[in-house]
Structure 1
Amino acid sequence: MVAIQVDDLTKTFGETVAVDELSFRVEDGELFGLLGPNGAGKSTLINMLVTLLRPTAGTATVNEHDIIEETAAVRNSLGIVFQEPALDEELTGEENLAFHARLYGMDRDTRRRRIDEIFDLVGLEDERDRPVGSYSGGMKRRLEIGRGLLHEPSVLFLDEPTVGLDARTRRDTWEYIQRMNDEAGVSIVLTTHYIEEAEQLCDRVAVVDDGDIAAIDTPDALKESLGGDVVSLTVDGPTTEFTRQLEDRPWVAEYATDDDTVRVTVDRGAERIADLVRLADEAGASIASIDIHRPNLETVFLSLTGSTIGERSSASGAAAEPALGRTDGGQQDRTTDRQSQPAPTEDDR
């Protein structure tokens, strides 16, 4: 069964096209990544899929439920982990999960069973009775991910799940996300601007830029599409004769020059260094330095868009696109208000 089907989905805000006729599908059990900078349209897309925004045009289904005609069924079949924290830090971990379970109408026995399973799944059994305010950042993120799985959804949406975490905690969180996908069997859609996160976690990645999908495939296939390693040679003197020599070589996929640097794309770059140095010598060029860059998803993004993700984010500005769950310029769409949340009683847990 297809977890998510998207056909020509579009969202405009006045004259601004935030999402431009996107079409793709997410397979059942797949860990699918949306990789792109701030303002690319990732969160706007997710907000439509979780029924927080109504599309301007196009259609989509989540777990075979239409996002416009069957909003209640869509919401019941998915879980969401917002980019911004959404836990009540005055309640314990167990109380947070118990309250969430009540929102989904779970009976007491089901609540207790699922809460026990979630604490075991995210490795927080020893912390369940502590106030969430005393948790580390990584522990809070794990609890939020577990909470998103509490009602056993078919699809889990994670919006920038490791933003603000240190490198060690980020890697630990990746491990838990992978474990959720493997053990819970849930389809996961993850938005991120971290290259390594997409490479490490995702079965397939959609490269999102300016409201459009520039490419979609497995991380390995996207990197292989560039044609090999990029060998950068800094040349003392003119590069014209050297580049002319490169034109006749079948093992050179492509080359480009930038001031005194020549970038050559070849298979097995380390094995071709001697050949490149020989050609430069025959052309009367002196090589000052050589670097080998193996393709990653940053290289793919640069090749597809002409800019790095960091450059795109800086150009668009951090506030160019609302985070997941924000649809009105910063006011987060919440199903509950913290001050209206009663502390769970013993029978509620």
Structure 2
Amino acid sequence: MIELDFRRRLGPLLLQVQVSVPSQGITAVFGRSGSGKTSLINAVAGLLRPDEGRIRVEQRVFFDAAARVDIPMEQRGIGYVFQDARLFPHLSVAGNLRYGLKRSGRTAAIGFDAVVEVLGIAPLLHRRPHALSGGERQRVALGRALLRQPTLLLMDEPLAALDAPRKTEVLPYIERLCHEFHLPALYVSHSVDEITRLAQHLVIVSEGRTVACGELTEVMSEPEHAPLIGRFEAGVVIDCRVARHDVHYQLSTLAFADGELRVPLVDLPEGTSVRARLRARDVALSLSTPTDLSLSNRLHGAVVSMTPREGPYVDVAIGLGSTVVRALVTRESCDRLGLAVGQPAWAMVKSVALDSRSVGFARRPRPADGSAA
């Protein structure tokens, strides 16, 4: 486990962290700008010294104020990827990568050739940073961090400076590298799309405090976290598998415990585990069997809760069995339909709302012993 229990005064903000997360897979640290996300991982890295508390990664204590333990950053076995790549402009890509290898001070368990292959940067090795795109620079920065032979990877909004096409380019490499090299990672982001696609675990930070921690699918789906995630980004995340493809209509069917979803064609083999994020704002409700509608996804269940939100909105949760979906509707609609807890209802969502940003490859972390997951 990664156990973080510390406090640090940052001007008017008191950073109070108290979480335990698994030391495998990607844990997203999510929150709004200024919430304390970067300060949290800087304390883990050794760039920020807590005023009090303790930081432990597996069996190693990085910091313990009471025991006067404070291991320097270079001895913590951390790989750090910043928002900007911070490559050395006078070195080639190969030189930047080998710098990370030389600085590791550890036996090279992660090899140069393996990193080059996983990140797809063989054609770039002789280039200088100025000749790379933003996405290519970040891939090289990831490679340099890996070649430091870290036991923990920290990523501070590594895609924030990239445009949408470059983000799409880099995301699959981040997915793959943590799986291939069995590295735990703390991934800081304020992008719901990124964390839904990448992370298995989620920590939410708000005004300096860690207010939620757990499995991503559970934390993202809790209605009380909607104000922190964002009114129009909140919803549920459902674990699915690719059931079949319809090449003629360019659609895929995703199966989950209580039904199926039709989505734009997913470029993954049948049987692959995926996640689907249903934003509450994309879900409409009907009390009668929907007919003559363009909406392909019609899920039958019953109202399990109705939570008033700021302004004219109500968050309505529909239980489908073991799965709950949520719809963001107006109070007027609730009154007009006469919605009440226990009432049967249909939850409907457009296929086009479940695009590539809402459906992602759900790669599970491999067990620490290296056996098949």
When the two structures are superposed, what TM-score results if normalisation uses the length of structure 2? Answer: 0.61
After superposing the two structures, state which structure 1 stretch, 40-49 or 114-123, moved more: 114-123
Q: Would you say 1:152 and 2:208 are equivalent positions?
A: no
Match of 1:32 in 2: 27
2:196 to 196, 199, 208: 199
Q: Aligned partners of 1:252, 1:6: CA distance in 2, in Å?
A: 35
Greater strand fraction, Structure 1 or Structure 2: 2
Q: Would you say 1:19 and 2:15 are equivalent positions?
A: yes
Q: How many residues align?
A: 261
Q: Would you say 1:263 and 2:314 are equivalent positions?
A: yes
Determine what percentage of the aligned residue pairs are the same residue: 23
Q: Aligned partners of 1:252, 1:213: CA distance in 2, in Å?
A: 28
- Offset of residue 217 of structure 1: 2.1
Please say which structure displays the higher CA radius of gyration: 1
- Offset of residue 152 of structure 1: 2.0
Aligned residue for 1:217, secondary structure, equals strand
Q: Aligned partners of 2:338, 2:103: CA distance in 1, in Å?
A: 74
State the Cα deviation string for residues 14-53 of structure 1 (Å, max 9, x = none). 5x23412x21123122210100111111111111111111
Contact 2:4 2:55 in 1 (8 A): yes
Query: Gapped runs of 5+ residues in structure 1?
Result: 234-249, 284-289, 295-349
TM-aligned CA distance change 1:81 to 1:75, over 3 Å: farther
> Which one-letter code corresponds to 2:15 in the other structure?
V
- Offset of residue 281 of structure 1: 6.9
**Matches of residues 291-310 of structure 1 in structure 2 within 5 Å?**
none
Q: Aligned partners of 2:198, 2:309: CA distance in 1, in Å?
A: 34
When the two structures are superposed, what TM-score results if normalisation uses the length of structure 1? Answer: 0.65
Q: Aligned partners of 1:252, 1:53: CA distance in 2, in Å?
A: 44
- Offset of residue 162 of structure 1: 0.3
Match of 1:133 in 2: 130
Match of 1:5 in 2: 3
Match of 1:58 in 2: 53
TM-aligned CA distance change 1:270 to 1:220, over 3 Å: closer
Contact 1:232 1:263 in 2 (8 A): no
Match of 1:102 in 2: 102
State the Cα deviation string for residues 180-239 of structure 1 (Å, max 9, x = none). 111000001000011111111110111111011121122321233229856689xxxxxx
State the Cα deviation string for residues 83-119 of structure 1 (Å, max 9, x = none). 2331012321001122232223479xx69x8322221
Aligned residue for 2:197, secondary structure, equals helix
Q: Aligned partners of 1:282, 1:102: CA distance in 2, in Å?
A: 68
1:210 to 207, 211, 224: 207
Match of 1:48 in 2: 43
State the Cα deviation string for residues 34-80 of structure 1 (Å, max 9, x = none). 00111111111111111111111111113432223251487342111
- Offset of residue 257 of structure 1: 7.3
Contact 1:206 1:215 in 2 (8 A): yes
> Which one-letter code corresponds to 2:32 in the other structure?
P
